[in-house]
Homo-oligomer: A and B are copies of this chain.
Amino acid sequence: MEQGTGKYITGGVYVITTSSGGIINGQAASWVTRISQEPFWVAVALYERNYTHDLLLESDIFAINVLKEGQQEIARHFGKQSGRKVDKFAGIKFHKAKTGAPILDDCLAYLDCEVIFSRKFGDHTLFIGEIVDEGVLNEGKPLVYRHEDYF
């Protein structure tokens, strides 16, 4: 299968953050969707080799930081390096959400989540989150993922 149609599935651009045992980390991600209106639940798929993935498996909490148009550089910052080697939050303004996950002060909006279900599907783990807090922090339009912005 060539997966030529994969690029036709539209996604936003997010920084998925978590906090586990005093360690905070975050990664760029685009494979995110709503899955239930009532209760308000979302699904996030994270690559199995990412550090955020491993921390999230431990903590069972995460925040979706929604990036806005023009914030591709923040996505690259959180997407092109590993939290195993660098502190991605050095120089980044953030605060802690209700769950303890870090929220980027400059993001458009955030959804703070507790994991209610997770399961490995192929090379990713799907995390289903119940939204326990949310907020809109800035004005703008959500950034839509385009492959050419990052590769």
Question: Is A33 a contact partner of B5 (Cβ separation < 8 A)?
Answer: no
A contact residues, total (Cβ < 8 Å): 47
Apart from A9-B12, A9-B32, A41-B121, 14 more pairs, CB < 8 Å: A1-B39, A4-B136, A5-B111, A5-B134, A6-B34, A8-B142, A11-B33, A33-B43, A36-B124, A37-B123, A38-B122, A39-B122, A126-B128, A144-B144
A1 to B136, CA, bound (A): 13
Question: Is B32 a contact partner of A124 (Cβ separation < 8 A)?
Answer: no
Q: Residues 1-17 of chain A: 1 if any B CB is under 8 Å from the residue's CB, otherwise 0?
A: 11111101111100000
Are A121 and B126 CB-contacts (below 8 A) given A3-B40, A33-B31, A33-B33? no
Question: Is A121 a contact partner of B66 (Cβ separation < 8 A)?
Answer: no
Question: Is B6 a contact partner of A40 (Cβ separation < 8 A)?
Answer: yes
A47 to B128, CA, bound (A): 16
Interface residues of A in 99-151 (CB under 8 A from B): 108-111, 117, 119, 121-124, 126, 128, 131, 134-136, 142, 144-145
